Structure 1
Amino acid sequence: MAAGCLVVVGIVGLRQPLHSSQGRTFSGRPDLLMVDGALQQRELTLQQRRDAEALLEQFIRGQMTRHYWGHFAASLRDLGLDSGPQLEATVTSTPAGSELWLQPRRGKEGYAAAVRQGGPRILRWQCRGPLPEKGVRLSLADGCPDGWTQIGSPSS
C-alpha cells in the first residue's frame, strides 16, 4: 500500500512542469546564482591572498640572503621569483633596503613587504590593505601604511 502511494506521488511529480528558480528568492534568501557568484569571488580573493603572502615571504627571505652577500636584489627575477599573471609587482631597492609592492589585476586589496638595514640587524615586515587611489603613493618607510594590516610578526 505504501509503495503504491509512493509510485503515484512519483508519477504526479514527473508530470508537473519544471519551474525555473532563476531570479526568485527562497525563504528570504538571495538568489542562488548571486550566492554562488559571491562565494566564487571570495574563493578567488582568498587564493590571491595566499599567493601574494607566499610571494612576500619568498621575497623577504631572498632579500635577506642577497643582503648577506653584499646588496639587495633589484628585481624579482634577480631572486628567482615570479609574481604570476594575477599580480603586478614593483620592486624598489637601495643600499639601505628593498620594497615589494603587489597589485592584483582584479580586486581591491594590495600587498607589500619591506626589508631594511637596521644597524647590525635586518628589519622586515609585510602588509596588506586597500589599494590607494590612482596617483597616491604609499610608504613603507616606518612600517605598514595607515589603514593597512601587518601580516605575521615584524622582526627587528
Structure 2
Amino acid sequence: MRLSKSKRASLSLSINAIVILILAFSMLGLGLAFVRGMFQKMEDRASGALGVEQLINPPTRNNVMITQPADTVMRSREQKSVLIGFLNTFGADASCTLSVAGCTISPNLAFSGTARGVVSDEISIWKIIVPSELTAGTYLCTATIDCGLTYGTTSRDFSVKISS
C-alpha cells in the first residue's frame, strides 16, 4: 500500500511540473510577443521621424528650398505627403514659418505653420499632408518659407494631381 501512495505522489508531482512548464512557456511567449510589438512600434516611430535621409535631392546653396516630390500624383481616397526641405544659408540661426498659398485645396492641407528655429548651415524639413477626401483634378500650390524681415522669404511650387 505504501508503494502505491508513492507512485501517486510522483504522478501528482509530474502533472504539477507539466502544468507549471506549460504556464511558463505561455508566459514566455506572451512576454516575447509584447517586447517584439514594442520594438515594432519604436521602429515605426523612428522611421516616421523627419530626417534629411528622407530627401532624395537635399537642398544646396544654389537651391536652398526643395519640394519632394515636386509633382504628387495620387488617387482619390489616398493620403500622401510632400516634404519641404530648406537649407539655412543666412550665416546665423533664424526663426522660419511655412505657409501654403495659391492652392484651392490649401485649407485642407495639414502642416505646421508655427515658427521653427532653423540652425545656420543646416537643413530643416517640413511635412505637408495632402488629405484623402479631395476631388479629382490638378492643383498647383506654392509653399513659402518666411524667415522674417531680416532674411526674407523663399518660395517653391508643387503640384498635386488627383485621379479617381
TM range (shorter): 0.3 to 0.5
Normalising by structure 1, what TM-score? 0.34
Normalising by structure 2, what TM-score? 0.33
Relative contact order higher in (CA < 8 Å, ≥ 6 apart):
2
Larger radius of gyration: 2
